Amino acid sequence: METFTGRVKPTAAAEDMDEDMEEDMEEDFHQDIARSSFADMLHDCDRNNKYYQGIRAAVARVKARGEPVIVLDIGTGTGLLSMMAVTAGADFCYAVEMFKPMAQAARCIVEKNGFSNKIKIINKHSTDVTVGPEGDMQSRANVLLTELFDTELIGEGALPSYEHAHVHLMQTGCEAVPHRARVYAQLVQSEELWSWAHLHPVNVGSSRLLPYPALTRCAGSHAVCDIQLSQLPSHSFTALSPRLTMFSVDFSKPVSSKPQTYSCKFEALCSGQAQVVLSWWDITMDPSDSIVCSMAPSWTYEDPCAAPWRDHWMQSVYFLSEQSSVTKGEELCVSVSHDDYSLWYSLCRQSSHTCAEVPQPSCSCLAHLVWNRPRFGELNDQRRTQSYVQALCEVLQEDSVCLSVSDGSLLPLFAHLLGAKKVFSVESFRMNRQVIEQVLEANQLTGCVELLGGHPEHLSSEEIQGLQVSVLMGEPYFSSSLLPWHSLYFWYCRTALAAVLRPDAVVLPCAASLHMVAVEFKDLWKIRAPCGMCEGFDVSPMDQMIQRSLEFRESREAEPHSLWEYPCHAITHSMEVMTFDFTQCVPKQPLTSQGALPFIRSGHCHAVVMWMEYHLTEDITVSAGLTAPLGAQGQCQWSRHQKQAVFFFSSPRDTPAEGIAHLSYSYTFEPSLGDIQVDFNILPAQ
């Protein structure tokens, strides 16, 4: 999960993006606070309640032994768990928090709730904490509280932190909350998920574009793919194994961070292609495993509606190094290995008797370093590809000279295969060029597309052999883009390249349009909503700190989210609010759009969602947002390959019945910045 998001200037070349880094440091500091996941955790009632139950039980067990209860809370955040411990009867708590703004907030919250005499906030990494008369802690603790987990369980360094704590900070035989964690896995066949890690053959007219051999053999990136598996439709995967318990960790005993491998044997449930391992974990808060907080996706529950929602912990997808056929009833073995911070999975046949230890995956083909997983999915989207192929068929002539501007794009290969006379492609990054060169070589097309370095805005006529470009094309896709309108960099390139374009040159896409819709989220609103009270404790200083950071600059801006993972329904119609004509140069003056959009159903207006649609020709459009008309009840179907821009209101706005209120909007595109400023208000109908 991306806990924090950065910003980028659409007008800037990638190599120039760090020029303003120093002046942005204060802004990034506030952004880190404003867009952290602390609010999401505070809204996670299931998590909070289970922790509280476990803490009460642990404190009671220590008291029953006649010992004073000394608590160490590692990664205290708001201080919530420490306040729970004191309320449960702990004698003293040492609360460790390395993130300075969070440690300051914890002090305010602890003081506001009257616990300053029982809780000491230590602004350090736990491995730097000292024990003794002159140390941070007067004595070792006998209750260990932690919240050091991420979607992969160990990705935030939980194992080294536990290992150090047991050796240096905790008493022997201590209590721990959580007491234990278990990791689960399920082997599946899923063509959709598999398309996020490998390039499939692409049909281009009568030709077939193949991936290069090194890509097909590559184990891929070791980075975890974390998603909301509950939103993955059941028809998009087939379970080949039962749900497997891979390993567990007892946090009340010394923990080792040394690399380890665990295996689990099973019989295949059905025949198919073993491609992907789905994984999640749970934590039990007590030794009897009666208090369980589970990250299992909703489709593992008898009643899917009973599954708690959380965004700070999701589920993980691991891609096998290669797909392999399995037969129903076949004896198989799934192995999971881990180091300090990450997990990886492998599959072996029982006939081999032992599952050999598999090294951590690493990309050897470069493609996984160039294309992220949504990008792989986008390149493998046949419907999207055919839209570009159809558009190119409409605009290409036998004498067409094409110039492509996009990052790591197959579009110039399509143009060549469809009959263009000459094709140039600007690939600013060396690694991108290397990947495209390998695709060309694998398809006996070496030299058919001339790959150019540098940046499009600096392209000279000599680099394209003095030719005039008749087709300027782009997806557009740029790896540095965060928000939908950052792809307008293509427009700036088109403007800079005006001198090398023929007077009658075709620009593809010929235009882009910005669209909006107001939505009510089922759950995502929680990541930005104030918490106020949490389990009986006043955490409003945290809300105030986030709000101050939002007001620094973020309050009038949107942030990127993959909305296919977050159910919502529209409470207005969708609307096109701005159009950008790529056949013309970028204007000198700002473009503005104002208006009002009536609410068509009552509900809570949590946010406004925005996305771009690219008009390849007058009749062919590719959407990076809604991919189907809104449903009868406002159901939204979002692109899985692109993130949409979400403008959250500071608090949910109640929208009354149809026709009683409307959403006013104001957009300003400032050409000198290449950015779009937005403003929204909910007003009564006139």
Say whether 147 is catalytic: yes
pLDDT tens digit sequence for 249-258: 999 999 999 9
Give yes or no for residue 657 having a pLDDT over 80: no
Give yes or no for residue 627 having a pLDDT over 90: yes
pLDDT given at position 11: 64
Residue 486 host element (H or E): none
Contact 20, 684 (CB under 8 A): no
pLDDT given at position 658: 62
In degrees to the nearest 10, what's the CA dihedral of 397, 454, 387, 638? -160
The percentage of residues in the chain with a pLDDT greater than 70, rounded to a whole number, is 91
pLDDT tens digit sequence for 140-183: 999 999 999 999 999 999 999 999 999 999 999 999 999 999 99
pLDDT given at position 424: 98
> Can you give 591-619 as a three-state secondary structure string?
EEEEEEEEECCCEEEEEEEEEEEEECCCC
The Cα–Cα gap between 645 and 611 comes to: 6
pLDDT tens digit sequence for 5-59: 333 556 665 445 444 444 444 445 545 555 455 678 999 999 999 999 999 999 9
Q: Any idea which residue has 């949490």 for tokens?
A: 534
Q: Reduced to 3 states, what is the DSSP secondary structure of residue 561?
A: strand
Identify any residues that bridge with 347 across adjacent strands, giving them in sequence order. 334
For strand 644-655 and strand 202-204, is the pairing parallel, antiparallel, or unpaired? unpaired
Residue 394: how many CB atoms within 10 A of its CB? 14
What mean pLDDT value characterizes the chain? 92
Give yes or no for residue 69 having a pLDDT over 70: yes
Contact 140, 56 (CB under 8 A): no
Mean pLDDT of 94-98: 97
Q: Any idea which residue has 């721990």 for tokens?
A: 176
Nearest to 584 by CA among 487, 478, 512, 477: 512
Q: Reduced to 3 states, what is the DSSP secondary structure of residue 477?
A: coil
Contact 523, 309 (CB under 8 A): yes
pLDDT tens digit sequence for 195-246: 999 999 999 999 999 999 999 999 898 888 999 999 998 899 999 999 999 9
Contact 352, 173 (CB under 8 A): no
- 359 pLDDT tier (thresholds 50, 70, 90): confident
The Cα–Cα gap between 638 and 612 comes to: 12
Both ends of the chain: CA-CA distance in Å? Answer: 43
Determine the Cα angle at 210 with ends 234 and 205, to 5°: 90
Residue 611 Cα distances to 12, 93, 347, 517, 638, angstroms: 21, 48, 40, 9, 10
Q: Choosing from 2, 27, 111, 156, which is the catalytic residue?
A: 156
Which has the higher per-residue pLDDT, 454 or 40?
Answer: 454
Identify any residues that bridge with 283 across adjacent strands, giving them in sequence order. 181, 293
Identify any residues that bridge with 120 across adjacent strands, giving them in sequence order. 94
Structure tokens at 141: 């603790």
pLDDT given at position 22: 45
The Cα–Cα gap between 671 and 248 comes to: 55
Environment class of residue 631 by beta-carbon count within 10 Å: exposed (0-12), middle (13-18) or buried (19+)? exposed
Say whether 462 is catalytic: no
Note the pTM of the prediction, 2 decimals: 0.93
Mean pLDDT of 527-534: 90
The Cα–Cα gap between 234 and 278 comes to: 13
The least confident of 54-68, 331-345, 362-376, 640-654 is 640-654
pLDDT given at position 259: 95
Give yes or no for residue 277 having a pLDDT over 60: yes
pLDDT tens digit sequence for 317-355: 999 989 999 999 999 999 999 999 999 999 998 655 556
Give yes or no for residue 651 having a pLDDT over 80: no
Residue 470 amino acid letter: S
Mean pLDDT of 411-416: 98
Residue 557 amino acid letter: E
What is residue 517's DSSP assignment?
E
pLDDT given at position 351: 59
517 Cβ partners below 8 Å, 6+ apart?
A: 570, 572, 573, 574, 575, 608, 609, 626, 630, 636
The Cα–Cα gap between 194 and 506 comes to: 36
For strand 559-561 and strand 644-655, is the pairing parallel, antiparallel, or unpaired? antiparallel
Mean pLDDT of 511-539: 95
Give yes or no for residue 597 having a pLDDT over 90: yes
The Cα–Cα gap between 350 and 347 comes to: 10
Residue 600 amino acid letter: I
> Can you give 518-544 as a three-state secondary structure string?
EEEECCHHHHCCCCCEECCEECHHHHH
In degrees to the nearest 10, what's the CA dihedral of 312, 314, 320, 323? -140
The percentage of residues in the chain with a pLDDT greater than 90, rounded to a whole number, is 84
Q: Choosing from 97, 147, 378, 427, which is the catalytic residue?
A: 147
